Amino acid sequence: MSYAYLFKYIIIGDTGVGKSCLLLQFTDKRFQPVHDLTIGVEFGARMITIDGKQIKLQIWDTAGQEAFRSITRSYYRGAAGALLVYDITRRETFNHLTTWLEDARQHSNSNMVIMLIGNKSDLDSRREVKKEEGEAFAREHGLVFMETSARTAANVEEAFINTAKEIYEKIQEGVFDINNEANGIKIGQQATPTNPALPGSGGAGGAVNSGCC
């Protein structure tokens, strides 16, 4: 359970683009087509290995509904990575990307790695947004781009892990100040600290004490 680093991610994008499904596919490796609308924010976590180091990804899956926008914004701060998701079968979700991006850039630290994701790539017959359009948008705004399918799990792993790799590289380059938790990176305790043994040893101590009486 110990990790070298913890990266905080946020997933943002219009409602119904498949943010929660992407998270479920990544953390549980399953697809659940019907689920409740996300209230505020939900969480997921998974351990990955980069460069031989254990990294815990703590993912904040935000509600896409407009009503929650004001509070989800508060969660952007302190994220090291963001997945900005649109639905390739619904053009309006692609059109809203600029607003989402501005919002994200405004409320998070400037070094945050943003990955643009065109989800539902399995529904190619209903495609409204061409892959080239996504690529062009990403190029224009300096994002990494990928098309995924939460249903078939295509590219889901890659999307999360490539983002982590980029964050890791930025740490190596010294771009991120890892000692500032506002950057969304925590340094874990790889070795067991001495303190957690306290309840155990405390219990043993108690036994010794009562043994004296």
Residues near another protein (CB under 8 A) are 1, 39-41, 43, 45, 58, 60, 67-68, 70-71, 74-75, 77, 192, 196-197, 199-204, 206-207, 210-211
Strands 53-62, 5-12: pairing is parallel
Q: What minimum distance in Å lies between the beta carbon of 123 and another protein?
A: 31
What are the residues whose beta carbons fall under 8 Å from the beta carbon of 103, sequence distance 6 or more? 12, 69, 73, 76
Spell out the SS3 assignment of 101-121: HHHHHHHCCCCCEEEEEEECC
With respect to another protein, which residue has the nearer C-beta, 77 or 141?
Answer: 77
With respect to another protein, which residue has the nearer C-beta, 79 or 143?
Answer: 79
Q: What minimum distance in Å lies between the beta carbon of 177 and another protein?
A: 20
Q: What minimum distance in Å lies between the beta carbon of 71 and another protein?
A: 5
CA dihedral 15, 12, 33, 120 (to 10 degrees): 100
Q: What minimum distance in Å lies between the beta carbon of 203 and another protein?
A: 4
Strands 185-187, 41-50: pairing is unpaired
Please tell me the total number of residues recorded for the chain in this structure.
213
With respect to another protein, which residue has the nearer C-beta, 52 or 196?
Answer: 196
With respect to another protein, which residue has the nearer C-beta, 32 or 206?
Answer: 206
DSSP conformation class of 36? P
